[in-house]
Amino acid sequence: MQLTFLASFSILAGFVRAGTVVWSGSFNSYATPADFERWSWANQTGTYQWYIHGSQPASHYLALSPDYKNPAHTSEQRGLKLTIDSGATWNSQMERAELIPQTTANLGTGTLYYHFSVKHTNNNPPDSTFEHQIVFFESHFTEFKYGVGPRPTNLVWMVMGQEKWSTPFTADTWFNFAYEINFSSLNVGLWASTGASPLTKVVNNVPASTYTNSADFHVGVLRIGNTPAPEDWFFSNVYIEDGPITTDQGSGSPPTTTIPTTPRPPTDPTITTRGPMQTLYGQCGGSGWSGPTACASGLRCVAVSPPYYYQCQ
């Protein structure tokens, strides 16, 4: 009896999460792609905003399945397959599909660990002749790239546009990462592992202009260039925690705990939206702007006085 108790206690202890989850991007609450479309400017529901994509329905770009997660993430019910193609063209020279957090939590304070896992297969693999930006912030102070530099088939971790680490992006392997971002001392480090292995720190923190408006952590991919060939990217175990870092992959996805603070509406005027359309000479972006960022048909969102004021013309 005593032994049984001790054994089960130690198993549970192994699953204890180290930090507090400040935002969970678990796909457990998204059973179908249509669930992402419930989010709108009028009804900012769910844990993700979904408005950076092409004109097709969410099911054209997103798919959910238990087959799409890292099997090590035992409490994730499913992972995400994200597809980019010529139907996801933005600003004529980029193809992109991204999810960003919908939360009132402050995702840019103290030291936070931004966790995600990424994979590709040999079906619709990424094309290394094009630059890709993967899981980035709007200012790109840190991100992964693919299709760049002397080893274009590597996943390359960048800080302020400089390569800091890279690994061959082999098919059918889950790559687990956490960006360790210290918003107080303005630096960022990288934790990494593959498969079910625990994360280890692979790059010590280096200086960076760490900043997020708490709605610009782009979970997805931007491909620079126009090509019709679709690419499938898989994502799993997305969450942001306060330290100390949880290195274990086996503990699965976190509970959907959030710490509400000040609401931070999205302010990026450059991304396409499917929400309400702004009319001629109406504001479509700028610091603090939380209204529509899409312009009515035939109009463009013009940077009249960046970064403060953008207008539909």
Minimal CB distance residue for ligand NAG = 185
Q: Three-state SS for 28? A: helix
Closer CB to ligand NAG, 102 or 193, in the complex: 102
Helix (H) / strand (E) element for 3: namely helix 2-14
Which is it for strands 277-278 and 294-295: parallel, antiparallel or unpaired? parallel
Distance CA 52, CA 55 (A): 10
Amino acid at the residue 218: H
The site for ligand NAG, by CB under 6 A, has a size of 8
Please name the residues in contact with 92: beta carbons below 8 A apart, sequence gap of 6 or more: 226
Segment contacting ligand NAG by CB under 6 A, of 14-22, 166-174, 182-190, 207-215: 182-190
Among all chains, which residue has been given the structure tokens 């929400």? 275
Q: Is 204 in the site for ligand NAG (CB under 6 A)?
A: no
Q: Is 184 in the site for ligand NAG (CB under 6 A)?
A: yes
CB of 61 to ligand NAG, least distance (A): 19
CB of 133 to ligand NAG, least distance (A): 26
Q: Check: CB of residue 117 under 8 Å from CB of residue 176.
A: yes
Using a 10 angstrom Cβ sphere, with 0-12 exposed, 13-18 middle and 19 or more buried, the burial of residue 291 is middle
Among all chains, which residue has been given the structure tokens 């912030």? 137
Q: Check: CB of residue 245 under 8 Å from CB of residue 128.
A: no
> Site for ligand NAG (CB under 6 A): which residue of 2, 43, 91, 92?
43
Q: Is 256 in the site for ligand NAG (CB under 6 A)?
A: no
Closer CB to ligand NAG, 6 or 34, in the complex: 34
Q: Is 28 in the site for ligand NAG (CB under 6 A)?
A: no
Q: Is 201 in the site for ligand NAG (CB under 6 A)?
A: no
Closer CB to ligand NAG, 35 or 232, in the complex: 35
Q: Is 102 in the site for ligand NAG (CB under 6 A)?
A: no
Q: Check: CB of residue 44 under 8 Å from CB of residue 264.
A: no
Integer CA distances (angstroms), 272 to 7, 49, 101, 150, 269, in order? 53, 12, 16, 32, 8
Closer CB to ligand NAG, 109 or 194, in the complex: 109
Q: Is 45 in the site for ligand NAG (CB under 6 A)?
A: yes
Q: Is 111 in the site for ligand NAG (CB under 6 A)?
A: yes
Distance CA 156, CA 131 (A): 11
Distance CA 282, CA 80 (A): 36
Segment contacting ligand NAG by CB under 6 A, of 20-28, 157-165, 178-186, 225-233: 178-186
CB of 189 to ligand NAG, least distance (A): 9
Q: Is 243 in the site for ligand NAG (CB under 6 A)?
A: yes
> Site for ligand NAG (CB under 6 A): which residue of 2, 129, 162, 185?
185
Residues that bind ligand NAG (CB under 6 A): 38, 43, 45, 111, 182, 184-185, 243
